Structure 1
Amino acid sequence: MLTPLRNAYYLSFPVVMGAVLSNRMATRLSDVEPIHWATPIVLALAVFVIYTVDRLFDVQKAGASTATLTARHRFHRQHAPLLWRVVAVAALLALVLAFFLPTGVIKFGIILGGICAAYVGAVFRLPTRHPALLLKEPLVALLYSVGIWGSVWVQRPVVSGIEITEFAMFIGIAFQNLILFDVMEVREVASQPVFSLASEWGEPRCDLILRWLTFGVVAAGLTICFVTHDRFAQRSALMLALMSLTLYSIQRYPAYFLRNERYRWLGDGVFWMPALVL
């Protein structure tokens, strides 16, 4: 009964929808209206393509070994031929719809898309335990956040300090999400951990980083509530703080959230929380 839902999860549907909802929050915060109808569709397709291609390259790079593959990666390996065809169709559809977008958004998309393609290609070519791969988490957090917020900002002549602060909070949350997942994956496959920041830095250091990220995001959110009278800016800042606190709750109770990959469901689900303020 849960198979369709689990498949949607393996296909990064929560991340894709989270990107669309977060983009909508950034749009309202920046007061960019109206947003072209194709914008959320192209964004969703782009996120799906990037995440799926990255995982398909991961399983291709792993070869015959399955020891360190997560359930999501095993799903991508099992359905790789079909997924490559789906990626091709999604990329073509995104390319066609992109011609309906404003010129500034198209230029922004071309630049960011080129950077993402270079990133995915570099990750695929680097050896399995190359030190540069440790930059994956901060780079993914940055690129994901830039795609969501940058596509809004290119439609504005000026970006306010409040918007920049909430963008920085969002980057912190995205990085917190990825580091948390690394830590939980190390706990899942303790006998043969995946090469990541968590496996190299160690759990105590990662826990400390996650705590400081939570403190920084919450502090920034509360500060925004005191320095602006914009009600939506206040609500969105508090929602970002709650997103970070939700991830912190997973960190606090790892044994509970490791069961049935609960940490992944809730960890990716936090990016749906902006819907509560829209």
Structure 2
Amino acid sequence: MLSSIRNAYYLSFPVVLGAVLSNRMATRLSDVEPVHWATPIVLALAVFIIYTVDRLLDVQKPGHPPTARHAFHRRYAPLLWRVVAGAAVLGLILVFFLPGKVVRFGIVLGGICAAYVVAVFRLPARHPALLLKEPLVAVLYSVAIWGSVWVQRPSVKGAEVVQFLLFTAIAFQNLILFDVMETRERQRLAPNTPGLFSLATELGLRRCDTLLRWLTFGTIAIGFALCFFTDDRFAQRSALMLGLMSLTLYGIQRYPDYFLRNERYRWLGDGVFWMPALVL
């Protein structure tokens, strides 16, 4: 049982489920028409494919991150490539059921994601463009979740745009936090080895802590203020939930020693994107 849960974690299933639940929250913020039933399924397949391919390409490069997740992908690479191919075929079949607007949106976003994955794989290990990885991934992840809903709507409300920006800030906070925790873990286990090239290592842990703190305070403050500018009860609940998600990530940041044990920060950090289920 424990092995199955760990394998699901290595396969990024918590991230996939978090994307689906977050997409459902974005859907409920606007109830003009039902969102097409295939949208969350294709979204889940796309997130799984992108995360899996990214790691499968990572383990082909020398000096890849020495994490258990990467070791898992390296060990089962032939099988995982076949699973990715199967997921891609299923996704292509479901595309024929989607509205034309969603298909066009997916083609554009999919092209950008594919270009990103290829660029990350081809760029040298310490290329300055790699410092854009965290903000770019946060934006692409958020656009996929919210944009797939918005293209099926005749209009988008201001409260939705604000919550999209808050969600993007949380996704960015999550990625920077993971970078910080990985850096701390590496310093503790292998203090004499060079750190991985990332935004966290270039900014330094102190600046990253400050950045994460301001992201938390800003998200909570804007989410709380939004409750006074909208009469939509669900928008109020979801705004407070976004603030709670950011606060949870801040709690991981505040107690790094505890959450570094057994990679607890990854379990809870990915798990925050399940929290929208509390308001659905």
Scaled by the length of structure 1, the TM-score of the pair is 0.97
Tell me which amino acid in the other structure corresponds to 1:155: Q
Where do residues 184-223 of structure 1 align in structure 2 (5 Å cutoff)? 184-190=181-187, 191=191, 192=193, 193-223=195-225
1:54 aligns with 2:27: no
Contact 2:35/2:152 (8 A) holds in 1: no
Deviation at 1:8, TM superposition (A): 0.2
Contact 2:33/2:153 (8 A) holds in 1: no
Q: Which residue of 1 aligns with 2:71?
A: 74
Where do residues 188-267 of structure 1 align in structure 2 (5 Å cutoff)? 188-190=185-187, 191=191, 192=193, 193-267=195-269
Contact 1:32/1:152 (8 A) holds in 2: no
Identity %: 77
CA distance in 1, matches of 2:30, 2:260: 37
Q: Which residue of 2 aligns with 1:112?
A: 109
Query: Unaligned stretches of 5+ in structure 2?
Result: none
Question: Deviating runs (4+, > 3 A) in structure 1?
Answer: none
CA distances 1:226-273 after superposition (whole Å, capped 9, x unpaired): 111110000000000000000000000000000000000000000000
Q: Which residue of 2 aligns with 1:183?
A: 180
Contact 2:20/2:43 (8 A) holds in 1: yes
CA distance in 2, matches of 1:174, 1:187: 20
CA distances 1:159-208 after superposition (whole Å, capped 9, x unpaired): 11110000000000000000000000001111332211111110000000
Q: Which residue of 2 aligns with 1:36?
A: 36
In structure 2, which of residues 123, 126, 129 is the aligned counterpart of residue 126 of structure 1?
Answer: 123
Contact 2:219/2:243 (8 A) holds in 1: yes
What do you get for the CA RMSD once the two structures are aligned? 0.9
Q: Secondary structure at the match of 2:72?
A: helix
Tell me which amino acid in the other structure corresponds to 2:211: I
CA distance in 1, matches of 2:83, 2:167: 29
CA distances 1:199-223 after superposition (whole Å, capped 9, x unpaired): 1110000000000100111011111
Tell me which amino acid in the other structure corresponds to 2:175: L
CA distance in 1, matches of 2:37, 2:156: 23
CA distance in 2, matches of 1:205, 1:180: 12
Paired residues, number: 275
CA distances 1:38-80 after superposition (whole Å, capped 9, x unpaired): 1111110000000000111111123xx46x3211111111111
Scaled by the length of structure 2, the TM-score of the pair is 0.96
1:151 aligns with 2:148: yes
Tell me which amino acid in the other structure corresponds to 2:119: A
Q: Which residue of 2 aligns with 1:6?
A: 6
